[in-house]
Structure 1
């Protein structure tokens, strides 16, 4: 099963969780006028919109190649993931910081429906934990033995890292909101509520910046993972057709589509038809070793050791 299908499951789980949580948070805000509840309401609305954007990006990426876009639309998934980071930064993070600033200057305690925000936040933490667990489970099926930081930084499919960071941010945001609301109820001082809102804003801005940097790298074009590079190199030189790899470059056209371009050294005494047959065999080995290597360009050449030494 591809990383896309695992990512879709995590997106759908997060979407349903966030829609329900957003409604309950907003009702709690209307009853209590808590700035932490308002910030968390907007946060959940932004997350719900982000999940819809990721689903839309996945759908648009499946469009067939056209003469104007001969390599297809796989990078649409990167574009929509980048938009997600912008939405999280502006709608989620900056709004929370503004609301914290506003609340700090007009601090007031929570005087009515005091049990509502605590109840809503506790229930939301449970629901977000379920969503986060789904994201972790689906990510574990893809990341293998890679540690979490490396997985987020090196994943070529953007959906799972985005959902992981969003769910983590949502859980931490709920904890900050519970802290702000709880201290406000205990002390009667609304500035605790403002502090919790500020912490939510700082958290969301930080996550948005991380997502933006990672998806920017994907948009610029990243090579195959080190594991796939080794597998491709081994597949090229596994048979008698190739003496050595002179140089090779790879590029992700999308999360599940890889371009491989290599100049390979062949036997100078082989006929053109033998070289062509050998190249076909090498391409077949590459696709067997790395199925996402769908676009392969191999250029045969004669290796000149003296020229190679001068070039290096």
Structure 2
């Protein structure tokens, strides 16, 4: 059986002679060529038919003109609006239909994306609204004209309202500027009164400059006669004090300048700048030079002469320095009493850097004179020159400590130091006790110097109380009658916009009133910034 299955295959293999193979290939080529010819002929026939069809269509279009093209374009721009719905407010605003015009139109329940699930809005079909607007207004052109007219009237009303608002704002700004000027004069007075505001500090600084100038000359003369390092350190000390107090005088003169556009908060902090420079001068010139001469005297002891004359000069200097120190103590004590602070607290945190600087410099001067007198006495009666150099080193160390304290103190004020916590609590209580204020947040109060405080807070106002303040000034019966006459949404919108603007004006007046209360209770709060949450 297997042999019989393979028999046809063997017969086919025996027939595959070269001549038979050539015949088979030729037959295959003829079949493929015939099929390709038939396909090409069919394609040519289809192309001819398409040319004829498009030629006929073009002739028909030329005969009928552009009507078919317009039909095609209109068909392309046609929109299906059978499932488009609009609200009642939009129907009244965009198509100028009244509530009565919409009563007999069919309403559809449409799900809203802005409401909770399961709640449906009542809407109108857009095509029904458009048909009803054409019925009410007669034509689309009449509706468009009315829409344009109302738009123009609204823009004119808005333009007049903005002009009126700008005028009212200008008047409010003028009144507020005048009130600020009155408060400014009340606190600081006119230019002469402003100068007298610093009369205490200015007098102390002037007296210190004159006394240190005289003492410097006497100490230099005593050093030239005696050659004492302690006397030279005291002369340098007095000379540096004179220069530093000159800087304090310049700071006082500049701090009372009026604010300008480049410096809206004034120049009160200039005092701290010059006081800081004064502290740096004491540190480098006074302390540095005294330490240098003291250390140099240890390695190269000077030859001392006329020590009795040096002691006499130191005694006279001590009398002058003590007088200046007492005047500075009186001034600082008075300033501390007016600020409600103790003497020690005012020295550390007081706002008058000039009086405090004079106090500390004169205190160091008196102590330095005592150190110099003690060291000269020891050098005179024990015959050890090293005491004189030790006195110079001690005076330099004393000046370094005073300079470091002044630098630290004035740096804190320049960076921005907060006011006393008790005073800050009193200001916050004024805000919290006001009926318009719901809560107070982010309170900041910075001392600007020269009895000037900048206060800032974020206020959460009670909206109901603000609105009640506005409503209390209105005749509610007349407003109710006016509202009942409204027939369109535009009239209601205009009414609400007007009263909303008046509520904002009331809020601004309440902010001004609270600021005046703060400034009245705390005259040094010249800059009050209240932000509405």
Could you tell me the TM-score, scaled by structure 1's length? 0.90
Q: Does residue 137 in structure 1 map to residue 137 in structure 2?
A: no
Show the counterpart of 2:267. 73
CA RMSD of aligned residues (A): 1.8
C-alpha contact 1:65 1:73 (8 A) present in aligned 2: yes
Q: Partner residue of 1:293?
A: 525
Q: Which residue in the other structure is 1:257 paired with?
A: 452
**Cα drift, residue 198 of structure 1:** 0.6
Shift in Å, 1:238: 4.0
Using the TM superposition, give the Cα deviation of residue 109 of structure 1 relative to its aligned residue in structure 2, in angstroms.
Answer: 5.0
Partner of 2:199: 5
SS at structure 1 position matched to 2:366? helix
* Structure 2: segments with no counterpart, 5+ residues: 1-187, 189-195, 467-502
**Equivalent-residue separation in structure 1 for 2:240 and 2:283 (angstroms):** 10
Q: Quick check: 1:191 aligned with 2:386?
A: yes
Q: Does the CA-based 8 Å contact 1:29-1:38 persist in structure 2? A: yes
Are residues 1:44 and 2:276 paired? no
TM-score, normalised to structure 2, is: 0.54
> Contact 2:417–2:446 (CA<8 Å) still a contact in 1?
yes
Offset at residue 106 of structure 1 (A): 2.1
Q: How many residues are treated as equivalent by the alignment?
A: 300
Q: Is the 8 A contact 2:244 2:278 kept in 1?
A: yes
- The equivalent of 1:274 in structure 2 is 506
- Cα deviation 1:262-295 (Å, max 9, x = unaligned): 1122211223233222212211111112112111
- CA distance in 1: counterparts of 2:309 and 2:430, whole angstroms: 61
Q: Is the 2:268–2:448 contact (alpha carbons within 8 Å) kept by the matching residues of 1? A: yes
Q: Give the Cα separation in 2 of the matches to 1:190 and 1:213.
A: 36
Q: Which runs of 5+ in 1 are unaligned?
A: 302-312
SS in 2 for 1:254: coil
The CA distance in 2 between the partners of 1:222 and 1:65, in whole Å, is 21
**Greater relative contact order: 1 or 2 (C-alpha under 8 angstroms, separation 6 or more)?**
1
Of 420, 428, 450, which aligns to 1:233? 428
Select 1:28's aligned residue among 222, 228, 232: 222
**8 Å contact from structure 2 (residues 227, 303) kept in 1:** no
- Greater shift after overlay, 185-194 or 39-48? 185-194
Q: 1 CA distance for matches of 2:327 and 2:404?
A: 24
Of 14-23 and 127-136, more deviation after overlay is shown by 14-23
Alignment of 1:209-248 (within 5 A): 209-248=404-443
| 1:46 and 1:92 in contact (8 A); partners too | yes
Greater shift, 198-207 or 247-256, is seen at 247-256
Cα distance in 1 for partners of 2:197, 2:300 equals 47
Match of 2:366 in 1: 171
**Deviation for aligned residue 1:162:** 1.1
Checking the alignment, whether the CA contact within 8 Å between 1:14 and 1:131 is kept in structure 2 is yes
How far apart are residue 3 of structure 1 and its match? 7.4
Tell me how far apart the structure 1 counterparts of residues 354 and 423 of structure 2 sit (CA, whole Å): 20
Residue 310 (structure 1) aligns with: none
Structure-2 change in CA distance of 1:231 and 1:8 (3 Å): farther
Assess if the C-alpha contact under 8 Å between 2:307 and 2:376 holds in 1: no
Name which of 313, 318, 336 aligns with 1:120.
313
1:40 match: secondary structure: helix
Deviations 1:89-132 (A, max 9, x none): 01100100000011112224533x23211111111111111111
SS at match of 2:325: helix
Tell me which structure has the larger Cα radius of gyration: 2
Alpha-carbon distance in 1 for matches of 2:389, 2:268? 42
1:74 is paired with a residue whose SS is coil
Q: Is the 8 A contact 2:227 2:302 kept in 1?
A: no
